Amino acid sequence: MSEPRIDRVVPAFAADASDEQLLAWYDEGAAHSDGRPWVRMNFVSSIDGAVTRDGRSGGLGTPADRRVFDLLRLLADVVLVGAGTVRKEGYGAMRLPDDAVRWRLAHGLAAQPVFAIVSAELALFPDTAIFENAPVRPLVFTTADAPDDQFQALSAVSDVVVAGDDLVEPSSVLEELQRRGLRRVHCEGGPTLAGLMLADGVIDEFCLTVTPTLEGGDAGRITGEVPSQPQSMRLAQALHSEGTLLLRYVRDRRDETSA
């Protein structure tokens, strides 16, 4: 099956982008000059704001969304996901195909990104494919209140890191990722984790696919219900493919630097 055509409309029109063009566009600015991790969030939504269909975000995906989804993983040092999303979306081991591995190695990246899961209660099973078939030892971020038996069981198949007392603190997660040299952080959800990251002020980039459907129903919103202050973003890129919009926003720091 041929790849869906994707055109860029912002900042300048470019027709029928190749994978190399898309990777170059999404790679722009993905680093802090002081070495801090760059946090990219990636979500899909319907026109009317639904983030799931039948309880899963995957149902909203279009061919263009899936193409970009796979490419964004190529650029990541670490793929960060909340445990609820891992369960609902049916995640397996984080393993990129051979052609992706060759591309990463040719561009100075590790062969595979690290899979990092956020789970305050460690509601994960160590004997699942996520851990047993992982090409790189996964990371699990949890809290000091997590059950000790689960902590010990998961420590046998992953690096379990305490990153908060009763809630996982994104700033603590990023400190650990920085310590490990994992600077390109690609977060695939879910809403609770996105809300915590917004409240902690650590989101640098937000990639949003708007799929051309009206869903209705009671699906939740992208950033959950965690209290937070509004954060200004600026549109850095807009792509189009058969009615699907793929938007990339980056943090607008003009107000912060002028304060």
Which of 113, 122, 194, 205 is CA-nearest to residue 161?
122
Question: Would the pTM of this model clear 0.75, i.e. be above it?
Answer: yes
Per-residue pLDDT of 176-202, as tens digits, reads: 999 999 999 999 988 889 999 999 999
Instruction: Quote the domain boundaries for residue 61.
Output: 7-215+232-258
> Does any domain span residue 122?
yes
> Does any domain span residue 116?
yes
Q: What is the mean pLDDT of residues 140-169?
A: 97
Would you state the structure tokens that stand for residue 102, as one six-digit string? Answer: 């060759």
CATH code of residue 35: 3.40.430.10
Which of 47, 90, 84 is CA-nearest to residue 224?
84
> Does any domain span residue 1?
no
Please return the burial class of 216, using the count of CB atoms within 10 Å of its CB with bins 0-12, 13-18 and 19+.
exposed
Give the least confident one: 84-88, 93-97, 166-170, 227-231.
227-231
> Does any domain span residue 28?
yes
Provide the angle, in degrees to the nearest 10, between the axes of the packed helices 19-27 and 63-74: 60
> Does any domain span residue 224?
no
Per-residue pLDDT of 24-66, as tens digits, reads: 999 976 667 678 899 999 999 999 988 888 877 878 889 999 9
Q: What is the mean pLDDT of residues 76-83?
A: 97
Per-residue pLDDT of 197-223, as tens digits, reads: 999 999 999 999 999 999 988 777 788
The larger pLDDT score, comparing residue 255 to residue 125, is at 125
Per-residue pLDDT of 126-139, as tens digits, reads: 999 999 999 999 99
How many other β-carbons are positioned within 10 Å of the β-carbon of residue 98?
8
> Does any domain span residue 238?
yes
Does pLDDT of 167 surpass 80? Answer: yes
> Does any domain span residue 2?
no
- What values do phi and psi take at 255, rounded to 5? -65, -35
> Does any domain span residue 112?
yes
pLDDT for position 132: 96
Q: Number of folded domains in the chain?
A: 1
